[in-house]
């Protein structure tokens, strides 16, 4: 069997185009564009690259981008001061604080300061709690993108067995919540899981969010399983070049799986598209407008 390749780049382009249409209507009725503020603390090169692509995508969707690059030495109090200023700014609908933050900053203290109505990453405890009890919430972009890819591939997920490998607050846990809400039977695996290959083999859906390049082998998969690979690790090759690898051994997996996301070109582009989606949704909710349809 050769797996279908789930084209995250195409799905992201499609979602971004629809977000652009909604943003254009918003600009007409509200006489302003939906606005996203991105806060980048320090110079961490991969973070700077992600932030650049987020800003470019924001502008392309017809939304306003506010960029705040501040030095790595910025105190926690000053960072919180900036968040307060963005919370109070009516032209800002979404606030994204790029992670990781420097070690001297308490990440939770900063994320909890973001106005939950502007929390387009879905990291504030209010949004985490709302997601877990099934209320409207702003949902973390990466898991939301994964869910959209799965629904695009499978339609209704009801009754399917799904495993999420990884239990981070930004990917694994919210992914498990979304799959539960979609009526999957959900297993969450992590570094203490006994017999990870056996657990993976029981499942129709595998979402890998581990950060261990090619941990998940083709031989672990149930034939026909749908595989979503969140992993993004730059690994030096024997010839000295650096290659971006996922958490799944792609070549092997593609011979067993029913469908699989590539790295790059799978989950990554959908994460950015979902950030724009959340921003335009936040803008509507903040203006008291009904949620835009079809996003
Ligand atoms: N495409 C995208 O848009 C995004 C990609 N990523 C990528 O996804 C990956 C995961 O990111 P993130 O969730 O932040 O990572 P974290 O490091 O925060 O979490 C990793 C999780 O994997 C678990 N784990 C680690 N080793 C093993 C193992 N050998 N077997 C089973 N479980 C294991 C850990 O378990 P424990 O809890 O027990 O320690 C932990 O729960 C990274 O490669 C990251 O770069 C992240 C965000 C967005
Ligand atoms: N507050 C916050 N929110 C985040 O959503 C967030 C964050 N912090 N910190 C870092 C992680 C990582 N992340 C990615 C986004 C896009 C790609 C992406 O577009 N990847 C491309 C490849 C990019 C490349 O070639 O390096 C792809 O998979 O095709 C990857 C990873 C968002 N994150
Ligand atoms: Mg991480």
Q: Tell me if 274 is assigned to some domain.
A: no
The DSSP annotation for 189-233 comes to E-TT-S-HHHHHHT-SEEEE---STT-B-GGGSPTT-EEEE---E
Pocket test for ligand 1, best of 141, 171, 173 (most atoms within 8 A of CB): 171
- Cβ–ligand 1 distance for 225 under 6 Å, the answer no
CA–centroid distance, residue 153 to ligand 2 (Å): 22
**Which residues surround ligand 2 with Cβ inside 6 Å?**
50, 96-99, 121, 141-142, 232, 244, 263-265, 268-269, 271-272
**103 and 217 share a domain?**
no
Burial of 103 (0-12, 13-18, 19+ CB in 10 A): exposed
**180 and 77 share a domain?**
no
- Cβ–ligand 1 distance for 211 under 6 Å, the answer yes
User: Phi first, then psi: what are they for 66, rounded to 5°?
Assistant: -115, 115
Q: Rounded to 5, what percent of the chain is helix, strand, coil?
A: 40, 15, 40
The domain that holds 35 is classified in CATH as 3.40.50.10860
For the segment 226-236, the average pLDDT, to the nearest whole number, is 97
CA–centroid distance, residue 231 to ligand 2 (Å): 10
- Cβ–ligand 1 distance for 172 under 6 Å, the answer yes
- Residue 1, pLDDT > 80, answer no
Per-chain mean pLDDT for the chain: 97
Q: Tell me if 8 is assigned to some domain.
A: no
Q: pLDDT over 90 for what percent of the chain?
A: 98
Domain that residue 147 falls in: 141-268
Tens digit of each residue's pLDDT (9 = 90 or more) over 107-150: 999 999 999 999 999 999 999 999 999 999 999 999 999 999 99
Tens digit of each residue's pLDDT (9 = 90 or more) over 76-100: 999 999 999 999 999 999 999 999 9
Q: ipTM of this complex > 0.95?
A: yes
- Residue 14, pLDDT > 80, answer yes
Question: Structural domain tally of the chain?
Answer: 2
pTM above the 0.95 mark?
yes
Tens digit of each residue's pLDDT (9 = 90 or more) over 262-273: 999 999 999 999
């Amino acid at each position: 069997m050769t797996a279908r390749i789930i084209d995250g780049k195409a799905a992201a382009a499609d979602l971004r185009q629809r977000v652009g249409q909604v943003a254009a209507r918003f600009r007409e009725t509200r006489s302003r564009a939906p606005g996203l503020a991105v806060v980048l603390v320090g110079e961490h090169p991969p973070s700077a690259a992600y932030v650049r692509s987020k800003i470019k995508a924001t502008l392309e969707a017809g939304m306003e981008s506010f960029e705040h690059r501040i030095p790595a030495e910025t105190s926690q109090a000053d960072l919180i001061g900036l968040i307060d200023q963005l919370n109070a700014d009516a032209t800002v609908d979404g606030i994204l604080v790029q992670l990781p933050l420097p070690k001297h900053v308490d990440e939770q203290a900063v994320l909890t300061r973001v106005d939950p109505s502007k929390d387009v990453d879905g990291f504030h405890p209010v949004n985490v709690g709302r997601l877990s009890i099934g209320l409207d919430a702003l949902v973390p972009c990466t898991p939301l993108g994964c869910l959209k890819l799965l629904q695009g591939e499978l339609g209704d997920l009801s009754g399917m067995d799904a495993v999420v490998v990884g239990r981070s607050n930004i990917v694994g846990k919210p992914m498990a919540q979304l799959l539960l809400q979609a009526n999957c039977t959900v297993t969450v695996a992590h570094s203490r899981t006994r017999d990870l290959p056996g657990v993976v083999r029981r499942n129709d859906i595998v979402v890998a969010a581990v950060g261990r390049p090619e941990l998940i082998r083709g031989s672990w998969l149930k034939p026909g399983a749908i595989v979503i690979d969140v992993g993004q690790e730059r690994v030096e090759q024997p010839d000295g070049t650096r290659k971006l690898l996922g958490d799944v051994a792609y070549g092997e997996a593609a011979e067993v799986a029913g469908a699989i996301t590539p790295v790059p070109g799978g989950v990554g582009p959908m994460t950015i598209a979902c950030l724009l989606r959340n921003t335009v949704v936040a803008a509507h909710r903040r203006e008291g407008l009904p949620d835009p349809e079809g996003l």
